[in-house]
Amino acid sequence: MKERVLLRQMFEAAVRSAAAEVCMPPHLPPPPSGRTIVVGAGKAAAAMARAVEAHWPADQPLNGLVVTRYGHGVGPLGRIEVVEASHPVPDAAGQAAAARILDLVRSLGPDDLVLCLISGGGSALLSLPAPGVELEDKQAVNRALLRSGAGIHDINCVRKHLSAIKGGRLVVAAAPAQVVSLVISDVPGDDPSVIASGPTVPDPGTLADAQAVLERFGIVPPPSVKARLADPGAETPKPGDAAFVRTLTHIIATPQAALEAAAAIARAAGVQPLILGDALEGEAAEVGRVMAGIARQVALHHQPAPPPCVLISGGETTVTVRGHGRGGRNVEFLLSLAIALNGQPGVYALAADTDGVDGAEEIAGAIIGPDTLARAAALGVSAKARLADNDGHGFFALLKDQVITGPTLTNVNDFRAILIKAA
């Protein structure tokens, strides 16, 4: 039991390091001579807006609107409106909120400030389609990309070119006001042009890149999407565009910092942490098999470090959906890991999404131990069959090994920790 407690404590430390009330205050800009309009989107947007209100001078003007995922609000705020919308597939509420955000910033002048609060999930929440693209068509493409196994860079390349607000278009609308973006990163490499599809930064991708993504994953776009991606006038603003002269972007929380916070907890417990990387990508099941090999090397040969140690990693794996299960990339990783470990003594693992939502489930992730497969077999449950059906959530629900946090109001991507005990 103590192994599971330590893994939970590490995960909670990772999440806590990216809490808005912790990472926001040092980065708030000074009030301008004119107005300050707060806008933003993402799973942390409401908590970030609350932190702005708590630390903004009471005598300085402040208002605005942010959009977050359903269930991730923080109640009514005093000066900033919070709207909830759908994620990961966009809906009309997100479309309306994005349109209102554009309206808020279009009337600003050079003495005004747009304070933009961005976090993971913002791309689906800012769901204002580009002219000529129907929301239903954008939803269809989004669903197809999510099921295809495409990585977040590819998904957001397409999203930006189908949007009226992402890919730097928010900055174009806000000119000539200054735009300061505070960003909680949930993507490998912490690239602000990828986080929430970069509404306030130039887009290095092209229409041709977006077309290539759809072709590579065998997605046939609806006519409105095909026409948009074929229109040279629909290109996003690029690096060097004069619209970005008065913009500043600060990454205020990262997956790497979250892993380091978890490592500190392990170290204090007398367990050596090994951070393997904050940007590991690939099919979740394949990553699980690779990690199992590393864990066995530690357990059997004490390489690259002797037990007790914990292998920590972050990043965003993908799942190519072939079955009919409840999905979840973290639970898919764990199910694959458990099968590959095959009851290896002394090995425990936790994998969970730091936003509290793994896939479309309101479950952060799960925990495994050496007894996972045996306990499942005793219930008549085949781990291999569940993995083939992409049903990690169903598997761990039966074992009562789920990690359930509720909305954490932040998002610094997935967290994985594999604890190997001393023999």
Beta strands 414-420; 309-315: pairing state: antiparallel
* Predicted local distance difference test score (pLDDT) of residue 192: 95
What values do phi and psi take at 349, rounded to 5?
-150, 150
More confident of the two residues 149 and 287: 287
pLDDT value of position 90: 85
Average pLDDT over residues 231-250: 95
Q: Would you call 296 exposed, middle or buried from its count of C-beta atoms within 10 A (0-12, 13-18, 19+)?
A: middle
The whole-number pLDDT of residue 1 equals 62
Output the pLDDT for position 23: 96
The verdict on 59 and 197 lying in the same domain is: yes
25-53 per-position pLDDT tens digit: 999 999 999 999 999 999 999 999 999 99
Rounded to an integer, the average pLDDT of 311-336 is 92
Do residues 261 and 403 both lie within one domain?
yes
247 and 181 assigned to the same domain: yes
Of 136, 331, 105, 296, nearest to 199 by C-alpha is 105
For residues 107-136, give the mean pLDDT. Answer: 94
pLDDT higher than 80, residue 423: no
Q: Average of pLDDT values for 326-340?
A: 95
Query: Which percentage of the chain shows pLDDT scores above 70?
Result: 100
In a domain, 248, yes or no: yes
Burial class (CB in 10 A: 0-12, 13-18, 19+), 382: middle
Query: What is the chain's percent helix, strand, coil content, to nearest 5?
Result: 40, 20, 40
Of 169, 179, 160, 180, the closest CA to residue 237 belongs to 169
Considering the domain architecture, whether residues 191 and 273 belong to the same structural domain is answered as no
| Beta strands across the sheet bearing 414-420 | 272-277, 309-315, 414-420, 347-353, 365-368, 402-403
Tokens of 81: 């409106």
pLDDT digits (tens, 9 = 90+) for 385-399: 999 999 999 999 999
pLDDT surpasses 80 at 360:
no
User: Can you tell me the distance from the alpha carbon of 284 to that of 318, in angstroms, rounded to the nearest whole number?
Assistant: 6
- Total domains present in the chain: 2
- Is position 61 within any domain? yes
Residue 356, domain member (yes or no): yes
232 within some domain: no
* Closest to 94 in 3D by CA, of 105, 82, 104: 82
Task: Supply the CATH number for residue 305's domain.
Answer: 3.40.1480.10
Q: For position 245, what pLDDT does the model report?
A: 96
Phi, psi of 272 (to 5 degrees): -75, 120
386-413 average pLDDT score: 96
Domain boundary among 253, 282, 314: 253
CB 128 within 8 A of CB 197: no
Task: Name residue 232's amino acid.
Answer: P
Question: What is the per-residue pLDDT across 47-104, written as a single tens digit (0 to 9) for each?
Answer: 999 999 999 999 999 999 999 999 999 988 999 999 999 988 889 999 999 999 999 9
Q: Does one domain contain both 170 and 264?
A: no
DSSP string for 232-296: GGGPPP-TT-GGGTTEEEEEEE-HHHHHHHHHHHHHHTT-EEEEEES---SBHHHHHHHHHHHHH
Instruction: Give the count of alpha carbons within 13 A of 123, CB side only.
Output: 28
Question: What is the structure's pLDDT at 324?
Answer: 86
Kindly tell me the burial class for residue 232, based on how many C-beta atoms sit within 10 Å of its own C-beta (0-12, 13-18, 19 or more). exposed
* Positive or negative: CA dihedral 188, 353, 162, 183: negative
What is the CATH classification number for the domain harbouring 190?
A: 3.40.50.10180
Do 248 and 308 belong to one domain? Answer: no
Average pLDDT of every residue of the chain: 95
* Domain-located, residue 40: yes
Looking at the fold, whether 8 and 66 belong to one and the same domain comes out as no
Judge if 190 and 288 occupy the same domain. no
Q: What is the pLDDT of residues 363-372, one digit of tens each?
A: 999 999 999 9
Q: Are residues 244 and 293 in the same domain?
A: no
Residues 58 and 107 in one domain: yes
Q: pLDDT tens across 182-224, in order?
A: 999 998 889 999 899 999 999 999 999 999 999 999 999 999 9
* Phi and psi torsions of 220, nearest 5°: -90, 115
The answer, yes or no, to whether residue 284 has pLDDT greater than 80, is yes
Q: Which of 253, 288, 318 is the last residue of a domain?
A: 253
> Which of the two residues, 124 and 8, has the higher pLDDT score?
8
Identify whether 154 is part of a domain: no
Its pTM stands at 0.90
Of the three residues 253, 280, 313, the one that is the final residue of a domain is: 253
Identify the residue whose tokens are 């806590």.
16
Same-domain pairing of 197 and 329: no
In a domain, 412, yes or no: yes
222 found inside a domain: no
What is the pLDDT confidence band of residue 306, given thresholds at 50, 70 and 90? very high
User: Do 286 and 171 lie in a common domain?
Assistant: no
Q: What is the span of the domain harbouring residue 362?
A: 2-12+256-420
